[in-house]
Structure 1
Amino acid sequence: MSSLLASARQSVLARHLTAGLVAAVVGILVLSLVSEFRATQLAAMAYLGIAAAGLTLLTGLNGQLSLGHGAFMAIGAYTAALCLQDAEPLAPLPVILLAATAVAVLVGLVVGIAAARLHGPYLAGATLALAVAVPGLAIFWDGTLGGEQGLTVRVPDVPAWFADAVFFLTATDPTRGRYTAYVAWLVLVAVFVLLANLSRSRVGRTWRAVRDDEVAAELAGINLARSRVLAFVVSAACAGLAGALMALVVRIAAPSGFTLTLSLTLVAAIVLGGLGSLVGALAGAALLTFLPQLVTQFGGDLGLDDVRSAELAPLVYGVVMVLVILLAPTGLVGSLRTWRHRRAARSAQPPDPERTSTTHHNTTERARA
């Protein structure tokens, strides 16, 4: 039995690694072909997808609702910005990203322990207060964190080995802007592979058990508080890493970029895509990234001015969200998955003998006629 489980885990890991490798190569090729503006949009989709993936595991798999993930993104962004102030960064870029993730993990551990006994609206209220308070710290410590203007981020030079690898795959030399897009996409793929394996592991099954029935999970020997804290820490780590990538792509870390709207937007993304689904989180991030720009462009084509075209985007986004909630309550990916399962179950059902006999009788009668 243990050997069967081990082989199943290895097959799942191999499948995820293969999918991740294919996604990384395809992402690099696509980023090399699109314009600089589209590459920046894909980079924004990448860091929003990372933050939404962590949040969908917390809410969809563990059942905790957080409205403060924009605060963890701010923590990661300011940590990365402090390390990228000078012409020469304090450390290599992977180390800076890990440092931003570690700081977000520490803060998430403290908040997770404090919020482990909170449920439902109480947890949402606590994280909501966090989302409101954290951006204000940058104004309070304006000497270090830049106040309202924020901190300017200097993108490091493209490493020679990375430029050689990209040139080998795409026959193009990456610029600094495109380099950040490559990094964001590769980090997205790595995070999704790790989270996909985590959700299919024993930890993921524990989170689902706590979400479905806390009493039954506790009777089965699961430590509820430890499970909640671990889920919160993993989700905060994803948000901190996403914030660091956001600072790298946008090249600034300012309080205006981490308002309550960002936290609510992440919640809307996972609701649209489908709770508990990594693919749904990525689909929601894609909607957040591309839908406003498409709607604004459509408004300009209709003859609206720039202000009215910009105001049309949140209206259309709200209408889309209402339609998804009414027509696809489990999100876009969840509804698609449900439709596929129903179709497979319908095709797997044995034929009705009475209907088959009637059809055969009618066919025979038509043949005789």
Structure 2
Amino acid sequence: MRRLAAAAWRITLTRHLVTAAAGLLVLVVVMESVDDFRAVQLTEMAYLGIAAGGLTLLTGLNGQISLGHGALMAVGAYTTALLVSDDPVVPLVVAIVLATAATTAVGVLIGAAAARLRGPYLAGATLALAVALPGLALHFKGTLGGEQGLRLRVPETPGWVLETAFFITGHDLTRSKYVAYIAWLTLVVVYLLLANLARSRVGRRWRAVRDDEVAAELAGIHLGRARVSAFVVSAAAAGAAGSVMALAVRLTAPTGFTLTLSLGLLTAVVLGGLGSLTGALVGAALLTFLPSVITDAGTSMGLDDIAAAELAPLVYGVVLVLVILLAPRGLVGGIEAGWRRLRHHRHPVVPPGSITTSDAAPSRAPVATSKGDSR
């Protein structure tokens, strides 16, 4: 039985499913111990984590730099707003799936157009996307609402969800926590798919293109297809994040998807650690909670509200510089490197053929003698 469990644990999908189940259990415990305000903050962390998870695969695994993920989130958000605001209201799960599909289609078009670009050229193209795409809402005012945007009317929580939540937790489920559960369930599903994709043959091709394009091409990997596939997957994650963001904020407007959002996502990925989904989630947590913590600390030190709010970007920038200098692989990468050094210090690896302490020490065992020499 133990061998079967060990063999099952060596399967990547099994480990990811167990981790996802544990994450859902922790989610229920945390969500039932916080109020509605913290639930809203956790929802923000969830949709930022979804977008950062897609971006960290694009930048960390494939080596492409994107400054336009805020615009891709806008595609998912506006698609959700158009589906949810009208009657009959589309179910939220269906709306998230359709918004993700719409953003995936946009990602195919943009990725195919930018397949030959790399490095700063791709960053410049996605920067133009981040500036131009939200402006479409101003051009199509009748459909997208212009500067005022589109307001969402989040449907009532289904009765079976309320009954199930009361049976499990013994408390009534509020609207804010209902949206928070949807956000985190979406994050778990997206991270489960991204984690398995990163460990698959597709993920290995992305790493090969990132490490050495010439060697990858000699190995038979089509560079353009690898770049386009990575961009499409990252765009799909951004679309799901934008859909959840629209449900959480209940307003979709161009001011919510400026270049600042794209730069914030890239900053979160760098802080957490490139190529790590755990790092993306840590970066999203810092992006969500650190400004409010710094603002509260500034207010407690006697600063007014404006000065305390201006203190948050300064501290965030200092933290970013320190992480880049002290932990170039991000917070998660730095912790993993420190843990490996600690394990190596406790259990040093002895090279084969070297003399160990036990080999060098003289043997204290009694020497066997013949019967004639025994005295």
Q: Matches of residues 71-90 of structure 1 in structure 2 within 5 Å?
A: 71-86=71-86, 88-89=88-89
1:172-204: per-residue Cα shift (whole Å, max 9, x none)? 121111110010011111111111111111111
Pairing of 1:146-185 with structure 2 (within 5 A)? 146-185=145-184
Counterpart for residue 211 of structure 2: 212
Distance in 2 between residues matched to 1:331 and 1:297, nearest whole Å: 26
In 2, the alpha carbon distance for the partners of 1:132 and 1:49 equals: 22
Query: What corresponds to 1:343 in structure 2?
Result: 342
- 1:243-276 per-residue CA deviation (whole Å, 9 max, x = no partner) reads 0100100111011110000000000000000000
- Whether the 8 Å CA contact 1:29–1:169 is kept in 2: the answer is no
Q: Which amino acid aligns with 1:199?
A: A
How far residue 298 of structure 1 moved from its aligned partner, in angstroms, is 0.4
1:243 counterpart SS class: helix
Give CA deviations for 1:132-188 in whole Å, capped at 9, x if unaligned.
001111111111111111111111111222222222221112111111001001111
**Within 2, Cα distance between the matches of 1:355 and 1:208?**
39
8 Å CA contact retained: 1:87, 1:154? no
Distance 1:221 1:186, change over 3 A: same
Between the two proteins, the alignment pairs up a number of residues equal to 353
In structure 1, the residue matched to 2:285 is: 286
Give the match's secondary structure for 1:33: coil
1:111 matched to which residue of 2?
110
Specify the code of the residue in structure 1 equivalent to 2:230.
Answer: A
Amino acid at match of 1:30: V
Aligned to 2:299: 300
Quick check: 2:8–2:14 contact (8 Å CA) kept in 1?
Answer: no
Tell me how far 1:360 sits from its aligned partner: 8.2
Equivalence map 1:134-149=2 (5 Å): 134-149=133-148
> What residue in structure 1 maps to residue 97 of structure 2?
98
> Which runs of structure 2 are paired with 1:1-369 in the superposition (5 Å)?
11-86=11-86, 88-89=88-89, 91-346=90-345, 347-350=347-350
Percent identity, aligned pairs only? 62
Give the stretch that moved more between structures: 341-350 or 196-205. Answer: 341-350
Q: Secondary structure of the residue that 2:44 maps to in structure 1?
A: helix
Post-superposition CA distance 1:50-81 (Å, at most 9, x none): 00000000000011110000000000000001
Contact residue 62 and residue 210 of structure 1 kept, 8 A? yes
- Conserved 8 A contact 2:9-2:15: no
CA distance in 2, matches of 1:190, 1:54: 13
CA–CA separation in structure 2 for the residues paired with 1:169 and 1:212:
48
More moved, 317-326 vs 158-167: 158-167
- Indicate the SS of the match to 2:85: coil
Name the CA distance, whole Å, in 1 between partners of 2:80 and 2:11: 36
The 8 Å contact of residues 29 and 170 in structure 1, kept in 2 or not, is answered as: no
Residues 269-295 of structure 1, C-alpha deviation per residue, up to 9 Å, x if partnerless? 000000000000000000000000000
- Once the two structures are superposed, residues 77-128 of structure 1 have per-residue CA deviations (whole angstroms, 9 ceiling, x without a partner) of 0000111214641x21111001100110011000000111001000000000
Gaps of 5+ in 1: 1-6, 362-369
Please give the secondary structure, in 1, of the residue aligned with 2:302. Answer: coil
SS of match in other structure, 1:63? coil
User: How far is 1:130 from its partner?
Assistant: 0.1
Contact 1:296–1:312, Cα closer than 8 Å, also in 2? yes
Higher helix share: 1
Rounded to whole Å, the distance in 1 between the matches of 2:86 and 2:65 is 38
Q: Is the 8 A contact 1:40 1:249 kept in 2?
A: yes
Secondary structure (helix, strand or coil) at the match of 2:221 reads coil
Query: What is the Cα deviation at residue 8 of structure 1?
Result: 7.5
Compute the displacement of 1:310 (Å): 0.6
SS state at 1:349 partner? coil
CA positional deviation for 1:339: 1.6
Q: Letter of the aligned partner of 1:253 in structure 2? A: T
Q: Distance in 2 between matches of 1:122 and 1:236?
A: 18
Structure 1 contact 138–147 (Cα < 8 Å) conserved? yes
Alpha-carbon distance in structure 2 between the residues aligned to 1:257 and 1:248 = 13
- Could you tell me how far apart the structure 1 residues matched to 2:206 and 2:330 are? 20
**Letter matched to residue 265 of structure 1:** G
How far apart, CA to CA, are the structure 2 residues paired with 1:174 and 1:88?
Answer: 24
Alignment-derived partner of residue 366 in structure 2: none
Distance 1:114 1:188 in 2: 29
The CA distance in 2 between the partners of 1:47 and 1:28, in whole Å, is: 18
Distance 2:202 2:308 in 1: 46
Q: Which has the larger radius of gyration?
A: 2
The two structures have a TM-score, normalised by structure 1, of 0.92
Report runs of 4+ in structure 1 exceeding 3 Å deviation. Answer: 7-10, 353-357
Q: Distance in 2 between matches of 1:339 and 1:34?
A: 33
Question: Any idea what SS the aligned residue of 1:217 has?
Answer: helix
Q: Where do 5+ consecutive residues of structure 2 fail to align?
A: 1-6, 363-375
